[in-house]
């Protein structure tokens, strides 16, 4: 009737927004977002390199040749290191380590941090105070120094570096989830759910979490880039992956004494780190622009 009064007819489906429609709209926004697409292509490239590493290079990352510190050539695209190992092969296999560390470290941070932030934000009181002070203590230390301290106590190694990176990123996701939960739980539909007798666990699973995951997803993408840098920093200091593992930070550490004689031994691992971090940062910025209404014009 309103449509007739205004002089036009409107179908009910034209002003209803379904989850499928919302996903389609966001998908189109993602495809039209230049930075997000560039980041997605870079990340996809490194994922493909990690998966198909044995098919790309004929060498093994531990294989040595008599050609020491040779410049890039048709036989060795990125040259060789001080032990005669093919740098291109080691960079490709190093992609596996960096992505593996980033994925599991950030996944652990998201799992633990989100759980603590959910408890603190939803229940409040003494639990909120205790968890918030725990986050403050962890954030009081510079992240890389805290990671170094943790690895120094546990001993050098890739698994210990992964654990340290996961621990230092917990407060970031915890505080983000806490703030989001505090905002969501004041909505009218949460009050209505409590009024009809819905239990806390069901409210959390059906209403709180589905409306709180978006900033965690965006921060997780950005945190992935940070985890790659932190893993490389620990490897550079000798606290990450142990030789002969082709970890990019370790490769930089081994090559620093040859920076004038054979600069390619440092350039290519450094470029790999830069491109990986750039890809995840661009992807994270794009997701933030798409999912955050405040970023939309």
pLDDT, tens digit (0-9, with 9 covering 90-100), for 42-100: 999 999 999 998 899 888 888 888 888 999 988 889 999 989 999 999 999 999 999 99
Beta bridge partners of 80: 86
Task: Give how far Cα 8 sits from Cα of 2, 12, 36, 63, Å.
Answer: 9, 13, 39, 74
Domain boundaries 35-57+94-295, corresponding CATH code:
1.10.3720.10
pLDDT, tens digit (0-9, with 9 covering 90-100), for 241-288: 888 889 999 999 989 888 889 999 999 999 999 999 999 999 988 888
Lowest average pLDDT, out of 19-23, 127-131, 160-164, 290-294, goes to: 19-23
Query: What do you get for the CA distance between the two ends of the chain, in Å?
Result: 33
Q: Radius of gyration over alpha carbons of the chain, in Å?
A: 24
Task: Give how far Cα 47 sits from Cα of 96, 97, 185, 250, Å.
Answer: 8, 11, 38, 21
Residue 3 has pLDDT above 50, yes or no: no
For 155-169, what is the mean pLDDT?
92
pLDDT of residue 293: 55
Q: What mean pLDDT is reported for the chain? A: 86
* Cβ atoms < 10 Å from Cβ of 190: 17
pLDDT of residue 214: 84
pLDDT of residue 78: 93
Angle of helix 87-123 relative to helix 158-184, nearest 10 degrees, comes to 40
pLDDT of residue 131: 95
Q: Could you please report the per-residue DSSP string of 218-236? A: HHHHHHHHHHHHHHHHHHH
In the chain, where the domains are located? 35-57+94-295
């Amino acid at each position: 009737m309103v449509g007739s009064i205004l002089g036009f007819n409107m179908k009910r489906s034209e002003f209803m927004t379904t989850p499928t429609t919302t996903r389609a709209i966001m998908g189109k926004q993602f495809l039209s977002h230049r930075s997000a697409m560039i980041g997605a292509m870079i990340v996809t490239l490194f994922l493909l390199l990690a998966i198909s590493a044995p098919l790309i290079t004929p060498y093994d990352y531990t294989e040595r040749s008599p050609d020491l510190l040779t410049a890039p050539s048709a036989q060795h695209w990125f040259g060789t290191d001080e032990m005669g190992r093919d740098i291109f092969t080691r960079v490709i296999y190093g992609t596996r380590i960096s992505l593996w560390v980033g994925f599991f470290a950030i996944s652990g941070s998201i799992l633990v941090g989100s759980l603590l932030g959910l408890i603190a934000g939803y229940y409040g009181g003494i639990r909120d105070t205790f968890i918030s002070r725990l986050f403050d203590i962890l954030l009081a230390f510079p992240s890389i120094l805290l990671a170094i301290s943790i690895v120094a106590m546990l001993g050098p190694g890739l698994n210990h570096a992964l654990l340290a990176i996961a621990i230092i990123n917990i407060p970031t996701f915890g505080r983000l989830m806490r703030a989001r939960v505090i905002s969501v739980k004041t909505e009218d539909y949460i009050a209505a759910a409590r009024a009809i007798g819905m239990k806390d666990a069901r409210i959390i699973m059906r209403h709180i979490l589905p409306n709180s995951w978006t900033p965690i997803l965006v921060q997780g993408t950005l945190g992935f880039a940070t985890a790659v840098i932190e893993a490389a920093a620990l490897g550079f200091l000798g606290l990450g992956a142990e030789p002969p593992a082709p970890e990019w930070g370790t490769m930089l550490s081994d090559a620093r004494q040859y920076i004038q004689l054979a600069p390619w031994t440092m350039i290519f691992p450094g470029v790999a780190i830069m491109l990986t971090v750039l890809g995840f940062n661009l992807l994270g910025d794009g997701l933030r622009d798409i999912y955050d209404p405040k970023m939309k014009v």
